[in-house]
């Protein structure tokens, strides 16, 4: 039986996910179905399923979207040619790219114009990485965080003009290792004054680190295709937690797999809604209750995409969390 749950704080939805989910919810309310979305709005299977039930159609090619239809581009960022193609044929396009991803795109454009070779640390095939690589394809080299820098370094023509950028959802430990290696090889390496990692990603990893060393087991809530969720599981393993489980939600949680774990840590990736967290805790049924381990405050708010701002009242958007919006839509 589980004795106590250590609940990481912060956890769950980040500001970018909050913005994207609420924006898609507004589109569901404003437009007759179907509303289209290019790629999954966020990498969470249950969130995507909820929107499908509300009539949202997810596509992997914007050319599948009928002329004049409402179309959202996902929070992970899209290639420039995808954005241009989406806006053809009179579609009403809402670009829900996270502002922190937009910052990386801007850095890539600027460094490419200045003649830099850009080493981009990211996961091959991830939507965010695909979109960023397309911003400056002739200048950017993908560095998988699990591989050595050597193959990318062979393409560097001027060692004095090398820049290092990153997918925003990487594990801090992975980023720092590659950054330090690159600095050793390229003393003139350019990096952003503040690294590209999302503050929410870093905060969630710090909060998990604070509980992982105290826990007999850790449950990370989030989907397998969520980069930041996978990074959280790796953080717990690196901290030495003997048992780490990743689950989409309570239905996937095998309490027996926890064995005799008396203290269980719980956290959630940046795309996982709070109701799943509470449902997992209920399934764990801790006899000694829940201890919230608070690391830092998060009060960031990203306003709706500019395409929607004239269509919705500002107070209505600020006054609800994305989890509340999902619950309201589900009850409709």
128 tagged catalytic: yes
The catalytically annotated residue of 9, 18, 107, 128 is 128
Give the chain as a 3 state SS string: CCCEEEEEECCCCCHHHHHHHHHHHHHHHHCCCCEEEECCCCCCHHHHHHHHHCCEEEECCHHHCCCCCEEEECCCCCCHHHHHHHCHHHCEEEECCCHHHHHHHHHHHHHHHCCCEEEEEECCCCHHHHHHHCCCCCCEEEEECCCCCHHHHCCCCCCCCEEEEECCCCCHHHHHHHHHHHHHHCCCCECCCCCCCCHHHHHHHHHHHHHHCCCCEEEEECCCCCHHHHHHHHHHHHCCCCCEEEECCHHHCCHHHHCCCCEEEEEECCCCCHHHHHHHHHHHCCCCCEEEEECCCCCCCCCCCCCCCCCCCHHHHHCCCHHHHHHHHHHC
Residues recognised as catalytic: 128
């Amino acid at each position: 039986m589980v004795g106590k749950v250590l609940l990481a704080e912060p956890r769950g939805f980040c500001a970018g996910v909050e913005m994207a989910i609420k924006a898609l919810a507004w589109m569901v309310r404003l437009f007759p179905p179907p509303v289209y979305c290019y790629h999954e709005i966020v990498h969470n299977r249950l969130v995507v399923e909820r929107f499908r039930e509300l009539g949202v159609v997810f596509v992997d090619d914007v050319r599948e979207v009928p002329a004049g239809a409402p179309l959202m581009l996902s929070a992970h960022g899209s290639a420039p040619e995808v954005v241009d193609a989406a806006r053809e044929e009179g579609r009403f396009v809402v670009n829900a790219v996270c502002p922190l991803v937009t910052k990386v795109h801007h850095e890539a454009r600027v460094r490419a114009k200045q003649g830099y070779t850009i080493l981009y640390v990211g996961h091959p095939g991830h939507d965010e990485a695909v979109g960023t690589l397309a911003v400056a394809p002739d200048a950017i080299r993908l560095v998988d965080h699990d591989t050595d820098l050597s193959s990318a370094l062979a393409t560097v023509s001027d060692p004095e003009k090398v820049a290092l950028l990153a997918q925003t959802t990487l594990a801090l430990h992975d980023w720092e290792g590659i950054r330090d290696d690159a600095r050793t090889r390229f003393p003139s390496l350019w990096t952003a004054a503040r690294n590209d990692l999302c503050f929410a990603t870093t905060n969630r990893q710090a909060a998990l680190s604070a509980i992982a060393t105290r826990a007999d087991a850790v449950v990370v809530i989030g989907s397998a295709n969520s980069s930041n969720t996978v990074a959280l599981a790796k953080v717990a393993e690196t901290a030495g937690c003997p048992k780490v489980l990743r689950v989409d939600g309570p239905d996937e949680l095998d309490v027996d797999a926890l064995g005799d774990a008396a203290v269980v840590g719980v956290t959630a990736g940046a795309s996982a809604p709070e109701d799943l967290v509470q449902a997992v805790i209920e399934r764990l049924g801790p006899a000694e209750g829940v201890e919230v381990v608070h690391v830092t405050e998060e009060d960031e708010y990203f306003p709706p995409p500019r395409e929607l701002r004239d269509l919705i009242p500002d107070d209505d958007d600020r006054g609800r969390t994305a989890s509340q919006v999902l619950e309201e839509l589900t009850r409709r």
